Chain A
Amino acid sequence: MKLLSYKTITCIMPAGRGRAVHNRLMKEQGVLSASMHHARGIGASTFRHRNSLVASEKDVLVALVEESRADDLFAFLFDVADIGKPHVGLMFMSRTGRGHPLVAPVELNNLEPNV
């Protein structure tokens, strides 16, 4: 087991966008250690009244990445997920303790493209 340093990048974006971002991260950057889940998000634009919260659906992508590539992958995800646009979401990166990435059982190039 290689003892490398890892970081986690969490990307919160509108529902429906996560799968495409996840696929591009996997295919273009070779990062397999990522998972995605659904959430509801409440932001500055959705706090309407004191006692009512209007939530919107979100996809949350969490990726475990090597420290040496973390900054590049952060910039990649920022661009691919359009985080820099209004009302899209946010992303953040934090250091992890020990970690081990997913090792692919098959060559990714042999897989059929996802729909």
Chain B
Amino acid sequence: MKHHPQEMLVLTDAVLITCIVQRGAADAVVHAAHEAGAQGATIFHGRGTGVRQKHLGLLGLTVNAEKEIVYIVVPDDQADRIFERIFVAAKLDTPGMGIIYSTPIEKMATYIPHQIAARFGSHDHRDTTHEIA
């Protein structure tokens, strides 16, 4: 059977929001992002270090060094709104709660249903790359 490369639809104008919070707080971040319009999130674990040992919390123990890192890819035009909703939901204005930043994405690709792809002028030719802004 001949292998046909899949059609790749490249999306531009996307932003990656990365939010690093204490372990257990990621679900609140994901809920807030979802309610603000985000389609998904990826969460993984990490261990943070910084000023907590000397300056934050009771003996530096009330800020958990175990972290959850949340990746959320969002459209450019919704990024600010989702960013602010996450900021509020995760209480990131409180010292020691975590950090959040957004990074521009040059291009991204994922599965896009045929009906949606057709709206952007994509067709059935399988070995081409289309760009959707």
Contact = CB atoms under 8 A, between A and B. Distances in A.
B62 interface: no
Contact of B106 (A7, A43, A44, A87): A7
Contacts of A37: 44
Most A C-beta atoms less than 10 A away, residue of B30, B40, B44: B40
Given A87-B111, A94-B16, A53 B42 contact: no
Given A37-B44, A53-B31, A92 B111 contact: no
B7 A84 contact: yes
Nearest to A90: B110
Contact of A38 (B44, B104, B107): B44
B127 to A, nearest CB: 10
Given A7-B106, A53-B31, A94-B103, A78 B111 contact: no
A86 interface: yes
Most B C-beta atoms less than 10 A away, residue of A46, A47, A88: A47
Given A53-B27, A90-B110, A44 B40 contact: yes
Interface residues of B, number: 30
Contacts of A75: 5, 8, 129
A39 to B, nearest CB: 4
Contacts of B44: 37-40, 60
19 contacts: A37-B44, A40-B42, A40-B43, A40-B44, A42-B34, A42-B40, A47-B34, A78-B6, A79-B5, A84-B109, A85-B111, A88-B110, A90-B108, A90-B110, A91-B110, A92-B14, A92-B73, A92-B105, A95-B104
The 8 closest A-B CB pairs, nearest first, are A84-B6, A92-B108, A90-B110, A39-B44, A43-B40, A92-B105, A41-B42, A86-B111
